[in-house]
Amino acid sequence: MAMPSILEAAIDQFGRKGFEGASTRAIAAAAGTTMSSITYHFGSKHGLYLAAADHIAQRIAEMQAPTVERMRELADGSREGAIAALLGLFDSFALMMLCAESAPWARFILREQQEPTEAFERLYGGVMRRMSEQVVEWLRLARPDLSEREARATAILMFGQTMILRAGRATVCRVIGVEVIDDDVAALLRARLRSNLLATLREEPT
């Protein structure tokens, strides 16, 4: 089908070159289709850009939805349930950051983080906002000593520890001293992430 291949090519090109730098001609060539196909399905370059953002949000939602549902069952309203849910959710998020499919998404999203456009509103307004609010809710159960604002600050820093596995891939490899993140290194990173999160979630109020 033309649309999936066009969207994948668009996400890659927009992520690498930005909206202005990416051309519909190059996107069509990478997708193995014609420029008229882009016009037919998306109307314009801007329409394609927004559709690319929607596609990323949809794929993240599809990948994370099963885990979120399982963790909601685990989070039974207790502190321990909330801690278990947060650990499970962030491990699933880490696995997504470590998988190859997330690489072009990350480039696209990072550009939107630096210079937000309408596409960022679509990304954040969907899966990002829902996941963020869910994490804050569970954090308030796991750490009732935190204020609403402190819980939100903690949530974003927890996401940051996970997102660096993709957004900071070159630095991660350099610091650990590897060329690529293989299964052993991935397991190490996930284990250390879990320990870091536990330290935060079980921190005693001062």
The whole model's pTM is what?
0.90
**What confidence score (pLDDT) does residue 87 get?**
98
**What confidence score (pLDDT) does residue 126 get?**
82
Residues of the chain with pLDDT below 70 are 1-2, 205-206
If one looks up domain 54-201 in CATH, what number appears? 1.10.357.10
- Return the exposure string of 101-128: e unless at least 16 CB atoms fall within 10 Å of the residue's CB, then b: ebebbbbbbebbeeeeeebbebbbebbb
**What confidence score (pLDDT) does residue 74 get?**
87
Residue whose C-alpha is closest to residue 154's, from 146, 163, 144:
146
Domain extents for the chain?
54-201
**What confidence score (pLDDT) does residue 139 get?**
97
Q: How buried is residue 91: exposed, middle or buried, by Cβ count under 10 Å (0-12/13-18/19+)?
A: middle
